[in-house]
């Protein structure tokens, strides 16, 4: 697979950025809700890991936006037009904005509350109420938006995979069941 994308699939750089970001986000979403319920060393470890991985997602998202701008674009998915196409594109743009908002608000919250300094340079204590700081609410809104947009993204991709064409193969994963030629012939 070439580094740059071609007309029918994403290149290795876009594929690697996509799957590493996806794995990190799938860890960040549940850990964000669960870490406040933990106690002692596990709690400190979970907060440290969340902040570090969140920082990685910020860098990866910026790298993805820069690479997407520079890289060649695969052809639009076949069989998508009008409102469907608009929804698909809007989902992508909003996901990027949501990820940027989630990671920037996380960084702002951690700096403003002194959490980052305490976890990485201090005694590891966690402020009693992070809701005293403005970016806490922004982080909730952005992370919820990311969760909802991700459901739409994954749902849309699988729907297309099963009813139209091998969409997931474009992102480097082969062998996921897709609509057969027979099904497509009956649809047309």
Q: Give the residue with the Cβ less far from ligand HEM, 80 or 109.
A: 109
Q: Provide, rounded to whole angstroms, the least separation between the CB of residue 163 and ligand HEM.
A: 29
Q: Is 95 in the site for ligand HEM (CB under 6 A)?
A: no
What mask, x for binding ligand HEM by CB under 6 A, covers residues 143 to 172? x--x--------------------------
Q: Contact with ligand HEM (CB under 6 A): which of 16, 29, 169, 184? A: 29
Q: Is 57 in the site for ligand HEM (CB under 6 A)?
A: yes
Task: Count CB-CB contacts under 10 A for residue 9.
Answer: 17
Distance CA 86, CA 187 (A): 22
Give the list of residues 6+ apart from residue 167 with CB closer than 8 angstroms, or none: 77, 157, 160, 161, 178
Distance CA 77, CA 85 (A): 9
Evaluated on CA atoms 87, 92, 95, 101, the torsion sign reads negative
Q: Contact with ligand HEM (CB under 6 A): which of 14, 99, 150, 157? A: 99
Geometric angle at alpha carbon 62, from 124 and 70, rounded to 5°? 160
Provide the token pair at 41: 């060393």
Q: Which of 144, 173, 146 is nearest to 158 (CA)?
A: 173
Q: Give the residue with the Cβ less far from ligand HEM, 36 or 173.
A: 36
Q: Contact with ligand HEM (CB under 6 A): which of 43, 68, 140, 164? A: 140
Q: Provide, rounded to whole angstroms, the least separation between the CB of residue 151 and ligand HEM.
A: 13
Which residues contact ligand HEM (rule: CB under 6 A)? Answer: 25, 28-29, 32-33, 36, 50-51, 54-55, 57-58, 99, 102-103, 106-107, 109-110, 115, 130, 139-140, 143, 146
């Amino acid at each position: 697979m070439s580094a740059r994308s071609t007309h029918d699939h994403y290149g290795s750089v876009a594929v690697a950025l996509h799957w590493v970001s996806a794995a990190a986000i799938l860890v960040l979403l549940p850990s964000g809700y669960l870490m406040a319920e933990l106690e002692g060393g596990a709690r400190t470890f979970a907060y440290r890991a969340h902040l570090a991985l969140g920082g990685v997602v910020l860098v990866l998202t910026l790298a993805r936006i820069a690479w997407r701008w520079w890289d060649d674009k695969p052809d639009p998915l076949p069989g998508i037009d009008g409102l469907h196409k608009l929804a698909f594109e809007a989902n992508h743009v909003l996901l990027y904005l949501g990820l940027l908002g989630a990671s920037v608000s996380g960084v702002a919250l951690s700096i403003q509350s002194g959490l980052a300094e305490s976890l990485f340079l201090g005694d590891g204590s966690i402020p009693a109420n992070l809701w005293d700081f403005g970016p806490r609410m922004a982080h909730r809104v952005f992370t919820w938006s990311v969760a909802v947009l991700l459901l739409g993204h994954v749902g849309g991709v699988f729907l297309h995979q099963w009813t139209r064409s091998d969409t997931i193969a474009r992102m480097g994963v082969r062998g996921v069941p897709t609509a057969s030629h027979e099904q497509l012939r009956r649809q047309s």
